[in-house]
Amino acid sequence: MIRIAIPNKGRLHEPTLAIFKDAGLPVYGGGNESRQLIAKTSDPDITFIFARAADIPLFVEEGTADLGITGLDLVVERGASIECLTDLKYGSSRLVLAVPESSPITKVEDLAGKRIATEFPEITRNFFKEKNIDVEVIEVSGACEMTPHIGVADAIVDITSSGTTMMINKLRPVSQVFESKVYLIANKDSLKQKDKISDVKTAIESVLLAKTKRYIMMNVPAGNLKDVEKIIPGMNGPTIMEVEAPEPTFAVHAVVEADQIFVLIRKLKIVGARDILVLPIERLIP
């Protein structure tokens, strides 16, 4: 049995359900936000448990869950001893040291002897300890941006991605403290004992790889085939099939980089390709 802990709400909930669905493991029962706590999947050996992202590192460390999806910031903050298997490419964020816009503080050293409010006390303490700067860390459980404006702290260390919340709260970043990504994480013992974990990892990674590729199909007059082959990179070269058509014609299929499609189609039209179709790929297993 494999138990996978996934965030029951918040910004990671939907993209996590989506990536498992694409990987062939849809959640039975819909995984509605923060109400359903356990769900079966299409594999009788795999069960999802829904938890707060902040609790998942320890659930995975102690083996309550064999696998989990959560942010590296939460793993490090809790000092969880787990394996980070795969960067899931969504939810990247930064922990940033910030002060009120009106503050005279401009660099990290100016924080010596000051008070810093944060939801990440361990990461914050380590950051300043490594710089030999003595600060007072005040742990809060949310609304961190308010603390410097009400005299609770002189600065904050908080999570950010667009920077909108800090700007709205008239906070000026001073330094980046930590860079975070969302990972598929694993319990160390489970990783050794449960083969199915590598199946889950491969399935997830096949979805991530497929998102960067497109499947392209076209018809090419025989006389233009060489010019088209020069343009189509393909993974191991294009697939070429003869087409039943009034004139000698070939169907050319290939897997290409998604971010090359716009330029590629323009070039293919110039060398005579027609009836060009571009399709998404659900999974790509090299």
Ligand X SMILES: O=P(O)(O)OC[C@H]1O[C@H](OP(=O)(O)OP(=O)(O)O)[C@H](O)[C@@H]1O
Ligand Y SMILES: Nc1ncnc2c1ncn2[C@@H]1O[C@H](COP(=O)(O)OP(=O)(O)OP(=O)(O)O)[C@@H](O)[C@H]1O
Residue 74 interaction partner, one of ligand Y, ligand X, none, beta carbon < 5-8 Å per kind:
ligand Y
Residue 135 interaction partner, one of ligand X, ligand Y, none, beta carbon < 5-8 Å per kind:
none
Closer CB to ligand X, residue 11 or residue 172? 11
| 8 Å CB contact between 39 and 29 | yes
Closest CB 11 distance from ligand X, rounded Å: 6
Residue 280 interaction partner, one of ligand X, ligand Y, none, beta carbon < 5-8 Å per kind:
none
Non-local (6+) Cβ contacts of 123 within 8 A are: 73, 76, 77, 95, 157, 177, 178
Closest CB 216 distance from ligand X, rounded Å: 35
At 126, phi and psi to the nearest 5?
A: -65, -40
Closest CB 92 distance from ligand X, rounded Å: 11
Binding site for ligand X (CB under 6 A): 11, 142, 159-165
Cα torsion through 265, 269, 272, 277, rounded to 10:
50
Binding site for ligand Y (CB under 6 A): 9-12, 53-54, 70-71, 73-74, 91, 93, 159, 161, 180, 182
Residue 163 interaction partner, one of ligand Y, ligand X, none, beta carbon < 5-8 Å per kind:
ligand X
CA distances from 117 to 82, 140, 178, 266 (A): 27, 6, 16, 54
Closer CB to ligand X, residue 165 or residue 260? 165
Nearest residue to 285 (alpha-carbon basis) of 216, 206, 222: 206
Closest CB 213 distance from ligand X, rounded Å: 29
| 8 Å CB contact between 70 and 26 | no
